[in-house]
Amino acid sequence: MTLDERLIKIIPDERQIRFQQTEFYAFVHFTVNTFTDKEWGDGTESPEIFNPTDFDAEQWVSAIESAGMKGLILTCKHHDGFCLWPSNYTDHTIAASPYKGGKGDIVGEVAAACRRGGIGFGVYLSPWDRNQPLYGTGKPYDDYFVAQLTELLTQYGEVFSVWFDGACGEGPNGKKQYYDWERYYETIRHLQPDACIHVCGPDIRWCGNEAGDTRESEWSVVPRRTADTEKVASASQQTDDVSFRQRTIRAGDQDLGSRAILKDETELIWYPAEVNTSIRPGWFWHESENDQVRPLNKLIDIYEKSVGGNATFLLNIPPTREGLFHENDVARLREFGDYLRTGYGANLLDSAALTASPAAPEHEIACVRTKDETYYLPAAEDGAAEIALRWESPQTIRRVVLMEQLLCSQRVERFAIDAEQDNTWKTVSEGTIIGHKRIAVLDDVHTTALRIRILDARVAPTLRFLGIYA
């Protein structure tokens, strides 16, 4: 078997495919830190301080929907250990807070609002717990953690994502907790088989930074290699955790999956990347950051390089002490959604005539006009293929969207886009991988014909969708 043949045998499972289609979803960081103006609580905060006066999960969900996001992951418990639901296993919860006289349940309200709004609900449960006395005792803490996980995965309906953070700041003299990851994963698979487990988990990999930086070539087929992420490097005790290390690759590396990197690897896995960053400098709300909501063009750039670079995009929006998204964040989310709706609205492909090489009848290449599971697979064993599009009148094109059929793995390694100008083809964009989705950013190209050339692929390339936008 050639290397390429071996590589294309690695494909996503159904939950990963579904997840990659989620593309863009929200993180919501909310806990006692919102009231103490901190990023990390130390676990000594009194639940008395948690009192959002105007909390409204519907406001969060409608702002998220206005941005075109399809899910929400809530910090049900952050490192400080305070639970946003009335857990039966600790007193350090919302039940001890003044919110709704101790009868409130933020997790429940958010999950219900997500369901009503038709978006996914996901849970962030911090393994590192600075309040829980059992932390560092081994199995007793694992029992506690699994009990909490079980509450979250059984009481609030369907969960699309479980986000496990690797952060831990205990330091060399702190407590050491060896997490029983396998047990956590089994609990999730058993209770919510469709949920993807992120970061310290087998399904979705951390991209390696929290700034919104992306890789030029983001591969989904990567080695299962013994290494640690930067996050885990700061978590002294976790660098010793073999089970976790086997599932991770070095998050800081730029090339995780080219042929050169994979050629000598024996164990390969499908492990797609997620880009996570905040709409503000902090993960939690700070009044001093109300004027530092990221500019629209920065968010567009991150989106087009993450979702448009074979990763998913998890954008954090932190609620205020009232329990609402701040008006500046709400306005930015709507502007962003407006950009997506207009920028990726009508597909100019609909009015174009298509031809392909190797030649194929129009009905065969027409598959790229739809986003369903059908796809174009030219008989191009050398990995090269092209599709040309021609319009009756000139078009101005600013974005091209390409999608591969992931059930056939990630195959494309290099492509180019040419526009016909003065009767000759001029290259207007070049790129490496495609994967789930590639967004090629064009500089307002004015033309009557466009050509997509796949220059190199692992065996024959597939194309599931092509979008051309003015």
Please name every residue paired with 414 in a beta bridge, in sequence order, or none if there are none: 456
Residue 285 interacts with ligand FUL (CB under 6 A): yes or no: no
Residue 329 interacts with ligand FUL (CB under 6 A): yes or no: no
CB within 8 Å of 439: residues ≥ 6 apart? 304, 305, 307, 308, 309, 399, 400, 401
Question: Token digits for 61?
Answer: 């969900």
Residue 376 interacts with ligand FUL (CB under 6 A): yes or no: no
Q: Which lies closer to ligand FUL via its Cβ, residue 179 or residue 270? A: 179
Residue type for position 313: F
Residue type for position 468: I
Q: Which lies closer to ligand FUL via its Cβ, residue 238 or residue 395? A: 238
The single residue among 109, 129, 165, 329 that binds ligand FUL, judged by CB under 6 A, is 165
> Least distance from C-beta 367 to ligand FUL, angstroms?
38
What would the DSSP string read from start to end of 194-259? T-EEEESSSSBEE-S-SS----SS--SEEE------HHHHTSGGGGG-HHHHHT---TT-S-SSSH
- The DSSP letter of residue 279 is S
Question: Token digits for 210?
Answer: 């929290």
Count the residues of the shown chain that bind ligand FUL, applying the rule CB under 6 A: 6
Q: Which lies closer to ligand FUL via its Cβ, residue 39 or residue 289? A: 39
- Closest residue by Cα to residue 163 from 125, 207, 192: 125
CB within 8 Å of 182: residues ≥ 6 apart? 243
> Least distance from C-beta 164 to ligand FUL, angstroms?
10
The single residue among 15, 77, 205, 231 that binds ligand FUL, judged by CB under 6 A, is 231
d(CA 433, CA 411): 8
Residue 418 interacts with ligand FUL (CB under 6 A): yes or no: no
> Least distance from C-beta 29 to ligand FUL, angstroms?
6
Restricting to residues 122-161, which ones interact with ligand FUL according to CB under 6 A?
Answer: none
Residue 283 interacts with ligand FUL (CB under 6 A): yes or no: yes
- Closest residue by Cα to residue 222 from 440, 456, 433: 433
Q: Which lies closer to ligand FUL via its Cβ, residue 167 or residue 380? A: 167
Which residue has its beta carbon closest to ligand FUL? Answer: 167
Residue with tokens 């890789």: 215
Q: Which lies closer to ligand FUL via its Cβ, residue 231 or residue 286? A: 231
> Least distance from C-beta 420 to ligand FUL, angstroms?
46
Residues that bind ligand FUL (CB under 6 A): 39, 165, 167, 231, 276, 283
